[in-house]
Amino acid sequence: MKLPGRVYLVGAGPGDPDLLTVKAARLLAGAEAIVYDRLVSREILAMAGPKALLFPVGKSPKKHPVPQEEINRLLITLAAAGYMTVRLKGGDPFIFGRGSEELLAIKRVGLRCDIVPGITAAQGCAASVAVPLTHRGLATSVRLITGHCREDQPLDLDWKGLADPATTLVVYMGAANIAEITSRLAYEGLAQKTPVLAINNGTTPRERRLLSDLSSIAADIKKADFQGPVLFFIGEVVSLYAAAGINPLLREVIPSAAEHNAVPVHA
């Protein structure tokens, strides 16, 4: 009989396998069981050992085929059976990843759980387009917010505090609610012409970008018909996007190994 195994909550980063930590890559290669989210890229899953058991438990807006309680039970069952288990999450497991809930559930039954941080999507995607999250004279702070609440409940955010022109907002999981988010920010005084950059499948060969503003992004994102995860950057730092060498009007992109495709700016 195998001794109890352990669970590693591993951050998979924003998608590019080269952005994994050395520890994360080593654990992926040696894992006996991998429980992974929808946002984990195919390139990263390809790094799993050939004998690893793979368990997809991903969620999407209004579609939760595997409830969180079942995910917790699966992790406990695998570890109790002696499997070295990797719980693989996009970005960092402690930033909108419900990693802390899984950690508490595992520890509650006396099993070991270790955390392996990852580059969160805000950092990875901002770097991929050379847009700083903070910049002297443009943004003195950055706030990461979720655009999707637990069990699809209405958004309940500090809208007045978020509508700060000196703050960069990064919206995770916000594609379905971007119209509400931008209208609430505008109502609290954020300028309609505040630039917004949406990044789809960031840091992967499938990355697409859409440059718009607060008043137009909701309509523009529908036209773009993005597939996969979308991250929104809202704030004056987005004005540096073109200054970094990218002209969306001409669909020109900084050369990169990913061969990114730019989506034109809203006219």
Q: Which residue has the higher pLDDT, 34 or 260?
A: 34
The pLDDT of 194-204, averaged and rounded, is 94
Structure confidence at residue 244 (pLDDT): 58
Q: Into how many domains does the chain fold?
A: 2
Is 132 found in the same domain as 258?
Answer: yes
Q: What is the pTM of this model?
A: 0.85
- For Cα atoms 224, 235, 157, give the angle at the middle one, nearest 5 degrees: 90
Structure tokens at 94: 């402690």
Domain range enclosing 57: 6-116
Please tell me the distance from the alpha carbon of residue 117 to that of residue 148, in angstroms, as a whole number: 22
Report CA 248 to chain centroid distance, whole Å: 23
Structure confidence at residue 243 (pLDDT): 64
Is 173 found in the same domain as 125?
Answer: yes
Classify the phi-psi angles of 235: left when phi > 0, otherwise alpha if psi is within -120 to 50, otherwise beta. Answer: left
Residue 263 has pLDDT above 90, yes or no: no
Q: What is the pLDDT of residues 138-179, one digit of tens each?
A: 999 999 999 876 656 678 899 999 999 999 999 999 999 999
| 69 domain-assigned | yes
**Is the C-alpha dihedral spanning 157, 57, 207, 61 positive or negative?**
negative
User: Which of 89, 116, 143 is a domain's end point?
Assistant: 116
| 127 domain-assigned | yes
| 147 domain-assigned | yes
Residues involved in catalysis: 37, 59, 173
